[in-house]
Structure 1
Amino acid sequence: MERNVGSTDKTARILLGALAGLFSLGILASAVPLPAILAPVLGVGSVILLATGFTGFCGLYGLLGVDTCSVDTR
């Protein structure tokens, strides 16, 4: 797998993934007053964001031909 997620994109994914995970756990612990159905949605989203952030590869980017890695060929 070729990396297609740049450093800024990676940082944003990791931060958003961590926040989504915390909100998911907060909902499960009844500390965050949001509907319970959001807990698994946020949990799955968190895992996806963290995985793509740490690996540097996004399958959806690969399908769409998007590459946010800043490669300077000069």
Structure 2
Amino acid sequence: MKLETNLGQTDRIIRVAVAVVFAALNLLGVVGGTLGIVLWVLAVVFAVTSVVSFCPLYFPFKFSTKGK
């Protein structure tokens, strides 16, 4: 089964930027504990969805930022 991409270039860039910020906050010790873990998980999710150009939350609603 091949997943159809549903993320456009701008969406992917924003997701990578947010992932980098979340990871940096953790690595620099700005956040920790439960919030730190949540931000790590979100950073990984944003990075992976950006790399594969697919957001599973967009899929059930047939939403896409990809364009034509």
TM-score, with normalisation over the residues of structure 2?
0.87
Inter-partner Cα distance in structure 1 for 2:46 and 2:7: 11
Structure 2: give runs of 5+ residues left out of the alignment. Answer: none
8 A contact 2:26–2:32 mirrored in 1: no
Q: Which residue of 1 aligns with 2:27?
A: 25
TM-score, with normalisation over the residues of structure 1?
0.81
Q: Give the residue type in structure 2 aligned to 1:55.
A: V
Structure 1: give runs of 5+ residues left out of the alignment. Answer: none
Q: Write the deviation string for residues 12-31 of structure 1: whole angstroms up to 9, x where unpaired.
A: 0010011111112223xxxx
Give the aligned length.
66
The higher radius of gyration belongs to 1
**SS across alignment from 2:7:** coil
Q: CA RMSD in A?
A: 1.2
